Structure 1
């Protein structure tokens, strides 16, 4: 999963970012309530958000070509 984001286009990366961001938000809310099966999922979602944010920023700077 670590390398699966490298081939994404800008639009796909933004859509995936929004999807994972929603999952991350829901997981954080469930952690407050206390009903989380896998608490380590929060770390992996946060890291995937950082990877996607890096890819989106590279497109904005022109380091990646569309």
Structure 2
């Protein structure tokens, strides 16, 4: 998710997206511990998305 996409969301939508992203991140981390993921860069992308969402929430 790019920063330009994040700017279009309301405060409630940002919080919902943040909760979804954090859950997905935790699930991916657990799955990666058990067996390696095909594309481990997904973890990095989710982590950056979470950071973007938190930044947008704090700036609003």
Q: How many residues align?
A: 59
Q: When the two structures are superposed, what TM-score results if normalisation uses the length of structure 2?
A: 0.91
CA distance in 2, matches of 1:16, 1:8: 9
Aligned-residue RMSD, C-alpha: 1.0
Higher relative contact order (CA 8 A, sep 6+): 2
Structure number with greater Rg is 1
Unaligned residue ranges in structure 1 (runs of 5+) = 60-66
Question: What TM-score do the two structures reach when normalised by structure 1?
Answer: 0.83
- CA–CA distance in structure 1, aligned partners of residues 6 and 57 of structure 2: 11
Higher helix share: 2
The answer to whether structure 1 residue 34 and structure 2 residue 35 are counterparts is yes
Distance of 1:44 and 1:13 partners within structure 2: 17
Structure 2 unaligned blocks of 5 or more: none
